[in-house]
Structure 1
Amino acid sequence: MERPHPRRWLPAFALSACLTSPALAEPAIEVFTTAGEPAVNVPSGVAVIELDAPGRLDAELSQDLPADPELAESMMRERMATPEWQEVADRYADSYLGLARAWQLGVEKVPVVVIDGRYVIYGQPDVAEALREADHLLEQEGRR
């Protein structure tokens, strides 16, 4: 993923009621970033997906493997037989699901906050601030 660029707002349908009305269901919020671009002020329950996690896990899993392919395969099979492997395997699967979700949404750059899979704010690592920006922009659109 590329470095962040100036904030960009991609509105779709009326989300303002979701952000301001307690009577309606909370909007689904997803944050896509990388380890080098951490998200801050993330409300509880908000998914933060680090798009570079699969590569980091690949490096972790292949750490200290020998150059000999047969020996490396044997060592990986031993690692996979340990109880710790299930946790790593779950993290690995989750990281690729996050990557697939970003692709599905058409994420172009990070950091990005996606609201209800339809509203996108690029370039804002502060999630609480991105939600305030979204609310403000939707209020402006509602007055037109």
Structure 2
Amino acid sequence: MPLSESDLEELRGLRAELRRLLASRNDDGADAGDRTVAPAVHVAAAAVRMDRDGRAVLEPRGQGWRYVAALVLLEVFQAQQADTWRRLKICRNARCTTAFFDRSRNNSGVWHSTKTCGNPENLRAHRARQRVPTTGL
């Protein structure tokens, strides 16, 4: 299914909205003003059908960007139902901001990779603390 430039622009908007929603869950991920902005509305259609085992199955509908958006939004819906949506996060390294799935046991991950993002961030924080003069008691 080929996508037009306008289809791609709609999908970029959906991606930006999902990133904004994920970043807003970070303590320092989004500006306070960013959190008050109403989310963009992305309309996508889905159909519900019964499979051979009698289970309801959601299927995306539409053409172009609407079909792709339906796929993405159905995955978001299913992740929310399975309580795995909360594990999708944005890396807190300001130079990275990659979306990642937090596989830590207690859902406490903040970097997509400790090696490439966590260690440099921790090193920068450590060096910044070392530069601050300490006052003797």
Q: TM-score, normalised by structure 2?
A: 0.28
Q: TM-score, normalised by structure 1?
A: 0.27
Between Structure 1 and Structure 2, whose CA radius of gyration is higher?
A: 2
Bigger relative contact order, structure 1 or 2 (CA pairs below 8 A, ≥6 apart)? 1
